[in-house]
Structure 1
Amino acid sequence: MWPSPLRLTRGACALALVLAAALPARAFDTRATAAWVMDLSTDTVLLEKDSHRPLPPASMSKLMTIYMLFEALRDGRVTMDTTFAVSSRAKAMGGSTMFLNEGDRPTVAELIKGMIVNSGNDACVVVAEGLAGSEEAFARLATERARALGMQDTTLTNASGWPDPGHRMSMADLGILATRLIEDFPEHYPVFAETHFDYKNRAPANSRNRNPMLGLGIGADGLKTGHTQEAGYGLVGSAKQGDRRVVFVITGLGSDKERAEESERILNWAFRQFSLQTVAPQGREVAQAPVWLGDVPRVALVPAREVRVLVPAGQTGAVTARVDWQGPLQAPVAAGQIVGEMVVSVPGMPDTRVPVQVAQDVAPAGFLRRVGTAAGVLAGRVTGMLAF
């Protein structure tokens, strides 16, 4: 059903891309030094705090190594049973490890769990060397791939997030990466929710997933913690409740306890302070556009996808909408052709923009209709756009 009250206006503009704009950072006062929070169900950025500044990402940058390995799986370059060699460089990695030894031949499936659950620096080096020959070559490839994914604030010098002055990512970039992992690889994403992995029973004490959100009953199912002295404590997290999924990235917290508290505060705020409303189902007629020299005078316009918006708790302002297109449309037009956009406005929130498309084919008019239309033009009877 349409939210009430709803007002639909008319206008004309060129088709615009769907853009996400953030609410003011003051809407939530986070203790993190930098943060980014998005509602994936509506592509709405709920919070940005210094989110585009390149910062040391610590182990959160392992997500890029994981993404590169998932792509290799998708492309058929490796399988879950493919084994990689463990170099002396990989074995010598300090910090968090999955306790690999030279002579081991871990499978891709084991290395995925080693990187995600154990946060294994050694596993990341093994994957980097297995995919690119060396960690340095892998870092260059990963940086190039990150930029292609839209992560313009990312420069990687290693595969694990090991401290390095040139190894930097922004919180917004980590949010992009988390979103891509969730949406591009739904078959692999459940690994992020696994809580224990112990390679060959070598280190039961290090087998626990460090993500403090898992198991709290709030829908959390990923993704990656990070901590170094320079970066502080950070987390790339995600949770799903009902039809909504929220992804968030925080960094610069003072302790693992503070990180856990701040993560839970952010999720509670994101889910409880906004409600999801459906404005128009996919395929519902929202406007009619006149057709120039068509076999029918006008055609229905429908949204290209379901139109949903977030409404802040206690919001008393009206939800308004308009459908913009340039018209009249020129026959012939094809069903599914994008001709404009629907813009939905909620006070205090960024506008939601969804492309609108033609609902059915419209063929060119026959001779008599063309003559009648031409006469109408001469008589000044051509109308402008119609509002639904």
Structure 2
Amino acid sequence: MKKRWLWFVVIVLIMIPVVSVITLNKERIGMKPVVEAKAVVLMDLNTGRVLFSQNGDVPLPPASMSKLMAELIVLDEIKAGTHSWDEKVMISEYASSVSGVQLSLNKGDVLTVRELFQSMAVYSANDAAVALAEHFAGSEENFVRHMNQKAKKLQLSSGSYFANVSDIQTDPKELSGSQVHERETRMTALDTAKLAAYLINHHPDILDTSSKTQMRLQGRDLYLSNTNWMLPSLAGPYSYEGTDGLKTGFTENAGYCFTGTAAKGGSRLVAVVMGTKSEEARFEETRKLFDYGFSKILTWRERLDDWFHV
């Protein structure tokens, strides 16, 4: 009897660490992750298939992830030849007054389209975004109209709507004239993933910009660091192999948000995480999605290999 009891104790002691390892690494072995965020979507860019969704169709404030649409419009115009990267842009009084993350530009400052674009994409500068909108469309209001028209062309849902280019949420009572918009910017996680996928597929060079760890504005002693802590080149605790984009965001209403993309073994994933409670959490939750997605894709490939080798 004592021997049986001893063997039972030994088996329990062996199983406890095994169960713990399985629990801690469940995302890595293909089990659906438990993600703590208001909404998330994971998409296989190669197939367009949604691998995971949690409140993916719920309209939420996207913070600066809405700038992905601004990036798309600028890149479309550059590709069409209607504008060029070396064009000079004079900063208006309105652009210099935009709040939030900014370059502290002054009225009359002159920067190139390339400098403003990289500042918007890498550093999420709101004054740079507004300056580009005014340069490309004459006013922020006209540019926002293009953003919403593009959303319809991409067949994004009616739950996604752009109110401005910076996504700064301002009390309408403090605005006047052309600055007043119908409603606040809202996007669903699924629409954000679709937008990111379209952007990458049609302008793959965006990844050359979004993967920059740092950029310097010419003629200024100013260095801008990328807010995407998952970039491998940063070699930090949140770095993830294969990550090369795409856009972070934060406002009080939105919480911490991130649209990330990573490539591994010929596959590319897009993950959208909206509304985490901390800056670090948005990257931790994205890691869970990437681990799950790549594990799932590798499992599919192994099965296909087995079928074809029968």
Q: TM-score range by the shorter chain?
A: 0.7 to 0.9
Corresponding residue of 2:79: 74
TM-score, with length taken from structure 2: 0.78
Structure 1 segments of 4+ aligned residues over 3 angstroms from their partners: 200-204
Is the counterpart of residue 29 in structure 1 residue 34 in structure 2? Answer: yes
1:166-214 Cα distance to aligned partner (Å, 9 max, x none): 211111111111111111012343111001123243444xx11101111
Using the alignment, how far apart are the partners of 2:186 and 2:307 within structure 1? 40
Between the aligned partners of 1:319 and 1:47, the Cα distance in structure 2 is 26
**Unaligned residue ranges in structure 2 (runs of 5+):** 1-30, 171-182, 233-238
Which one has the largest radius of gyration? 1
8 Å CA contact 1:99–1:202 kept in 2: the answer is no
Cα distance, 1:275–1:130 mapped onto 2, change above 3 Å: same
1:230 aligns with one of 253, 277, 281: 253
1:156 aligns to 2:162 (yes or no): yes
More helix by share: 2
Distance in 2 of aligned mates of 1:145 and 1:183: 16
TM-score for the superposition, normalised by structure 1: 0.63
User: What amino acid does structure 1 have at the position aligned with 2:186?
Assistant: R
Match of 2:185 among 164, 167, 175: 167
**Equivalent in 194, 197, 218 of residue 215 of structure 2:** 197
Alignment match, 1:181: 199
How much does 1:37 deviate? 0.5
CA distance in structure 1 between the partners assigned to 2:256 and 2:307 by the alignment: 39
Q: 1:173 to 1:217 in 2, by over 3 A?
A: closer
Distance change in 2, residues 1:201/1:59 (3 Å):
same
- Please give the per-residue CA displacement for 1:88-147, whole angstroms capped at 9, x wherever unaligned: 111111211123222222111111111011111001100111111111121112111111
Verify the 8 A CA contact 1:213 1:260 in the aligned structure 2: yes
Task: Tell me if the contact between 1:33 and 1:50 (Cα under 8 Å) persists in the aligned partners.
Answer: yes
Q: 1:365: which partner in 2?
A: none
Query: Which secondary structure state, in structure 2, belongs to the residue aligned with residue 55 of structure 1?
Result: coil
Partner Cα distance (1:188, 1:251) in 2? 22
Deviations 1:223-253 (A, max 9, x none): 0001111111010000001211000101110
Shift of 1:217: 4.7
* Residue 117 of structure 2 is aligned to residue 99 of structure 1: no
The alignment's C-alpha RMSD in Å is: 2.1
**Structure in which a larger fraction of residues adopt strand:** 1
Equivalent pairs counted in the alignment come to: 257
Q: Provide, for residues 260-312 of structure 1, a one-character-per-residue CA deviation record: whole Å limited to 9, x for no partner.
A: 21122221221123316xxxxxxxxxxxxxxxxxxxxxxxxxxxxxxxxx36x
The answer to whether the Cα contact below 8 Å between 2:32 and 2:292 also exists between their aligned partners in 1 is no
Query: Residue 68 of structure 2 corresponds to which residue in structure 1?
Result: 63
For residues 150 and 243 of structure 1, the distance between their equivalents in structure 2, rounded to whole angstroms, comes to: 27
Match of 1:265 in 2: 288
In the alignment, the residues of structure 2 paired with residue 193 and residue 154 of structure 1 have an alpha-carbon distance, to the nearest angstrom, of 26
